[in-house]
Structure 1
Amino acid sequence: MTRSKGRWPKLEMDQGVEDAMLLILEWLGEQGVGAMIRVDAERMREGRPAWTFAAGGGPLSEGMRADGVSAAECMSRALLKLREAGLAVPL
């Protein structure tokens, strides 16, 4: 992590990635990456994956998106894609 501001808490292994979601978004912003996570109520009512993570800019050569049925699944998929794109998100 660059320019650490000492705000990364120790995460318990039984807690999900969603506990660190805001810290991940903030870290991405510090790297020049615009990112967001959202829930779509209509897709939720239809039984489709309602959570979406989207990111682009900075060191990402292309924009990326990850979907999931829960915030945890969405962020887990997003972290995998970010790592595949060369961003080692500290977690």
Structure 2
Amino acid sequence: MTRTKGRWPEWDPDQGVEEVTLLVLEWLGEQGVGAMIRVDAERMQEGRPAWTFAAGGGPLAHGIRADGASVEQCMGRALLTLREHGLVVPF
């Protein structure tokens, strides 16, 4: 995906992380990290945190996972976890 490098839009810090979630996933892929975000309808109906982010590979020594009740909460936790593992996402 080297053809996509350099095309990142300016991120507006007043907007939530959910606005750049797909860009984060694409950036992670370019770093050799496999990543996904999903929503679990069953957990949502049960009132449990339904959103899950998972990533592994590339510079991550171990897979990581972050859960949240919303996309914003899930991705916020995911970005913090990635940073703790030495991978600082530029968004």
TM-score range, shorter chain: over 0.9
Instruction: Give the total of aligned pairs.
Output: 90
Equivalent position of 2:9 in the other structure = 9
Q: Which runs of 5+ in 1 are unaligned?
A: none
Quote the sequence identity (%).
76
Q: AA paired with 2:58?
A: G
Equivalent position of 2:56 in the other structure = 56
Q: TM-score, normalised by structure 2?
A: 0.92
Q: Give distance in 2, aligned partners of 1:46 and 1:7.
A: 40
| Structure 1 runs (4+) greater than 3 angstroms displaced | none
Equivalent position of 2:86 in the other structure = 86
Q: Which runs of 5+ in 2 are unaligned?
A: none
Q: TM-score, normalised by structure 1?
A: 0.92
Equivalent position of 1:24 in the other structure = 24
Q: Higher strand share goes to which structure? A: 2
Q: Give distance in 2, aligned partners of 1:60 and 1:14.
A: 29
Q: AA paired with 2:50?
A: A
How well do the aligned residues superpose, as a CA RMSD in angstroms? 1.6
Q: AA paired with 1:74?
A: C
